[in-house]
Structure 1
Amino acid sequence: MIIKNIGEFKKIDIKDKEVFLDYFQKFPQQFCDLNLFNLLSWSIVYDYYWTIYEERLIIYNKSTDFIFKPVGEPFSLNEILYVSDSFISSNLSGNFCFFDEDYIRNLEVQNQNEKSLNKFFNLIESKDNANYIYFTEKLALLSGRKFHKKRNLISQFMRYYPKFNVTILDRSNSDCKEFRRCVELAEKWAKNKAKTGTNENVEQSENKDLEKDSSSEKELLEIELKVLKNSCNYFKELDIGLIIIEFDSSIIAFSVFSKQNQDMATIHFEKFDINYIGIPQVINNITSKHLLQKYKYINREDDLGIAELRFAKKSYYPDILLIPYNLVRK
């Protein structure tokens, strides 16, 4: 794929991981979409391409026709316009996504040659892609009255299933067989969920009044399972963590996570068997306690505009709701 005035874009591949990891190390990112594990895992759904232009990493989602916020030293408004115009000259939109407020503020302050951001772009909040970020300590301790229900559900799980077992795997002791076993179970749970119509995110006294958007949820489950299967290919290649909870030798919950930046981990997947009371709260809590050793924050990704997901994430009272902005050409 060639973009006029910029050059050739390569399809994202694990072979290029050192380039991405180097940029993300030098220029830490908070949005979960700017995470190598997510980019590789979701590449089976989205057509991601990338290049280095003027010492910035530029990622392009061909499926949505959006350019990601360039990774590196901030571009000037003139440079952003040049990149956008280059895409437009190649019969593409020239639109950007995943801009944060600081980057936008920097562009607005420059106001070079009496040019303003609003003259060329519509600035649009992408609330469905807002990232839910929490203090790790809060999720690990669950202190205070507002977490009383969650502590109660965890206590019930501990009483009913005292002989549960927790296994923590990372690159040093990774086992792809266990990861694949988790994927197989996720497929089984999704099928059972589709049959019963039970919503795992609002189960077990968290909320009984939400209206279900079954068609959106079903589509999301299918996509997520596809991505989860694809992510198996990168488990040993990247520094990915996996926590498994078992009872009677059966996996009943698991979580998958990775480093987002020096202070933050991102939880990519969190799945559980809804037949075990309190298990959603337990896997969340155990994962948070493990991550507390290294990270100040946990990014639990976005809600994709799904009401049930939004409720589940809000029920843990996010400390930061990180909203990305799209820059859409006028």
Structure 2
Amino acid sequence: MLFQALKESDLDLLKKYLPQYGDGDCDLSLVSLFSRGIRNHFRYFEFEGTHLVLERLVGKDPSPVLVMPIGKEEIPFSLFEVLDNDARQNHRPLRFYGRTDSIAPILSKAFAHRRLIIEDNPDRWDYVYACSDFVELPGSHFHSKRNFVKRFYKACPDAQFEVYTKDRLGACMAFLNDWYSGREMNEGLLEEKAAIEKVLAHWDELPVYGGILHEHGRILGLTYGARSASDILAVHIEKATRDVPGAYPALSQAFAKSLPLCIEYLNREEDLGIPGLRKAKQDWHPITQLKKGVIEVQ
């Protein structure tokens, strides 16, 4: 069998390729793969010690797709031959998932005499922002955000952001249990909560950035993320109290301020076609979107 199930013990292998050879896709940060990829039955194989190939499901489509091979060097034609033969032997279509604008030219060259069918889905496009915009909240575009942040610090003048440490685990779990209480815990929220608990429990083993916004021992917000490329940080989780107006933008700004200078961009994930989530992401004025989709080689 070419592919094998992704496991927690494969973390060192993932670190060999990510985030340094990542393309910014929020799903391909080490933290996302560790906390969600294993649960969602990602599979992988390593080709000749130079490229990592991941196999995953996208949405409710039961047919797996291949994440474009990840590595330092150009993808060799022999690797595409291996993947093509594997698809034929298993009687399934050869489908690749990734940033369609960048992988389409590569696939056109590798499969020059075959037809490519591109399936773009804007609901899964990642929103990308300038990190400096979150730090500075500049210009008229961010007038309302600045006002909300001021309201927050007026209500909580002693609030401060601190990097998460595992001695905060109990307090953070209590905060999360309170945040999720009263909400209808559908499959998506259950998966999200399980992912957060896993990251917090394994924090010291992961290349994760994040922390808590608190005042006098009361946690007001929790956030974390991980690099999905050398200069892009994917913000995976952002939870704040609804009791204090402005807690969410205050948390977003405080987190951005805490990041190292090598982080120039923030990937705040996709909107999944949810109108309220789409508006919330657009309100932060993205500079671009990563147009992700599936390309089938026929």
Equivalent residue number for residue 174 of structure 2? 184
- Give the aligned partner of residue 94 of structure 2: 94
1:81 Cα deviation from its structure 2 partner: 5.8
Deviation at 1:232, TM superposition (A): 2.9
What residue identity is the alignment partner of 2:113?
A: K
Q: Which digits, 9 at most, give the CA deviation of each residue in 1:84-110, with x for residues without a partner? A: 4413422444322124412212333x3
Given residue 191 of structure 1, which amino acid in structure 2 is its aligned partner? S
| Residues 141-290 of structure 1 aligned to structure 2 (within 5 Å) | 141-169=136-164, 175-194=165-184, 218-290=186-258
Q: Is the 8 A contact 2:31 2:225 kept in 1?
A: no
Q: Report which stretch shifted further, 307-316 or 92-101.
A: 92-101
Aligned AA for 2:226?
A: S
Partner of 1:30: 24
Change (3 A) 1:65 1:130: same
Deviations along 1:227-283, one digit per CA (max 9) or x if unpaired, are: 212223431111212211112421110111222232121211000111111001100
* 1:130 aligned onto 2:112: no
Residue 111 of structure 1, CA deviation = 6.8
Match of 1:140 in 2: 135
Q: 1:231 to 1:189 in 2, by over 3 A?
A: same
Q: Tell me, yes or no, if the aligned pair for 1:38 and 1:268 is still in contact at 8 Å.
A: yes
CA RMSD of aligned residues (A): 2.4
| Compared CA separation, residues 100 and 122, structure 1 to 2 (3 A) | closer
Helix, strand or coil for the counterpart of 1:253? strand
Q: Note if contact 2:209-2:259 (Cα within 8 Å) is conserved in structure 1.
A: no
Identify the residue that residue 64 of structure 2 maps to in structure 1.
65
Compute the displacement of 1:327 (Å).
1.6
What TM-score do you get using the length of structure 1 for normalisation?
A: 0.80
Distance 1:81 1:129, change over 3 A: farther
Q: Which amino acid aligns with 1:159?
A: K
SS in 1 for 2:182: helix
**Whole-Å separation in 2 of the counterparts to 1:30 and 1:83:** 23
| 2:14 corresponds to | 20
CA distance in 1, matches of 2:8, 2:200: 12
- What amino acid is the match of 2:168? E
Aligned length: 292
Q: Gaps spanning 5+ residues in structure 2: where?
A: none
Inter-CA distance 255–26: structure 2 relative to 1 (3 Å threshold): closer
Residues 133 and 183 (structure 1), Cα distance of their counterparts in 2 relative to 1, 3 Å cut: farther
SS of 1:75's partner is coil
